[in-house]
Amino acid sequence: MAAIAFDMYGTLADPASFATALDGCVDDPKHLAAAWRRQQLEISWLLSVMKRYESWPQVTRYGLEAALQENGIRLAHQQVEMVLEQTRYPALFDDVPEALTALTNAGHELAVFSNGTADELQTIVAETGIAAYFSRVITVDDVGVFKPAPAVYEHAAKEMRQSIGDVWLVSANPFDAAGAKAAGMRVAKLERTPTVRYDFAETPDLIVVSLRELVSALATVES
């Protein structure tokens, strides 16, 4: 049976749900939520290259402030705090519970593996009712650098007590899939909608369009 590490944001939890927190605060919540997510990731990469580390909640705050500045929007301090608090509880994608149940029933070991802090991740899995599916919650906080740094994938394998080549990463984020594959993990890239496929990166072991499809695809390659 496989050891499977699931990315959280973009794979299990929908970053587009950040738009809900922005409702009533801005004219186009979906546009700002998309800009926020982009800035959040870019800031994490910049910090890593600069050899600086700040927690994911702080990066999330920086991302929101940058997205607001980029779009010429000003929010009151109370609004910013309210928005940030609501984003602690992102919505899951619809295919998550069914797929986690099937993978667990098939005997796979599942873990969460994310840029988020342990507190953030434990809150999400508890509030969404999926905590029981995971043997552990793995955070880059323990390493002090963000995905896609090789050290974080090595850390995840160590936490799962597996050699890195025996761990699957499941991620909908192209940079995460590329980083994990380069570090030596097996990768199932999730493309609910078409995403970039980097010419410079190794091809993922699997590309699936839903987590439901992942269940049967893994059964084929692991048999």
Residues of the chain with CATH 3.40.50.1000: 3-13+90-222
Residues of the chain with CATH 1.10.150.240: 15-86
221 pLDDT more than 90: no
Domain 3-13+90-222 sits in CATH at 3.40.50.1000
Q: Which two tokens stand for residue 202?
A: 């190794």
Write down the pLDDT at residue 223.
61
Average predicted confidence (pLDDT) for the chain: 96
Residue range 90-97: mean pLDDT, rounded: 95
* pLDDT tens for each residue of 33-87: 999 999 999 999 999 999 999 999 999 999 999 999 999 999 999 999 999 999 8
Backbone angles phi, psi at 67, to 5 degrees: -65, -40
CB-based contacts of 124: which residues, under 8 Å, 6+ apart? 8, 13, 88, 89, 90, 116
Percent of the chain with pLDDT over 70: 100
Query: What is the C-alpha separation between 52 and 145, in angstroms, rounded?
Result: 8
pTM for the model stands at 0.95
Domain 15-86 CATH class label: mainly alpha
Write down the pLDDT at residue 220.
86
